[in-house]
Amino acid sequence: MNLFVGNWKMHKSRAEARAFAAELGSRIGGGVAGAELVIAPAWTALDAARDPSGRWALACQDVAAEAEGAFTGEVSAVMSADAGCRYAIVGHSERRRLFAEDGPTLEKKLARCREAGLIPIYCIGETAEQRDAGRTESTLVAEIATLGRDPVETPLVVAYEPIWAIGTGRSATPQDCSAACERIGQLLSSRRELRILYGESVTPENAADLLAGPGVNGFLIGGASLSAASFEAIARA
């Protein structure tokens, strides 16, 4: 089943999240055939974004690298699971770039997810400098290596983010998308339950073309997930 994850980032109050949930529920009725929907709101809006009937699941946008303790401002994986999350985004390009998260830190976050029963949505992708230098393959291999201790028998979602196409004026084609996702699938062929998402500038207009490529099992959606109408349209692609 294809997976569609709406990453709201630092958007939406609780009231806005409740309004979104009400609209999305009315739009999809009993659900979207062949699609699993996930919403990743801010922690404060988790309860407001919840669907009591289970037509979509919740994800947290990050987890702490430590299980508990004196870490002011952090939210543990156990806390997120207790708040109703099924998934957790780990290693988003913004976390890597803005907060200097690296392999050892992300490896700890993955471990905390497993301890809490959360399914990681692990984000990887190359920068413009890495791509232009011909280091796409080596970058993906290095970032996948962080999964080394993650149990291969547990469900895993990997989101490919072509960082070189974010805010650079360059666009990734459906061929770029499918080629990278296929290669990731080959590198992780030992995984028993693996879904690979594409995560850059997905819109209702390009979703069908991107999803048609081999190796693509859904999307990690940013701005387009802030509208219930566009999120629904992408999920129906």
Active site residues: 92, 161
Q: CA-CA distance, 47 to 62, in Å (whole number)?
A: 16
Burial-class residue 168 by CB neighbours within 10 Å (0-12, 13-18, 19+). exposed
Cα–Cα distance for residue pair 108/137, rounded to 1 Å: 24
Greatest alpha-carbon pair distance for the chain in Å reads: 49
- Are the beta carbons of 90 and 113 closer than 8 angstroms? yes
The identity of residue 226, as a single letter, is L
CB neighbour list of residue 173: distance below 8 Å, 6 or more residues apart: none
H helices present in 12-146, as ranges: 14-28, 46-49, 77-82, 93-99, 103-116, 128-132, 136-145
How far lies 65's CA from each of 68, 109, 146, 148, 174, in Å?
Answer: 9, 4, 14, 16, 34
Between CA 168 and CA 170 the distance in angstroms is 5
Closest CA to 109 of 155, 76, 60, 144: 76
Which ranges in 121-223 belong to alpha helices (H)? 128-132, 136-145, 174-187, 207-212
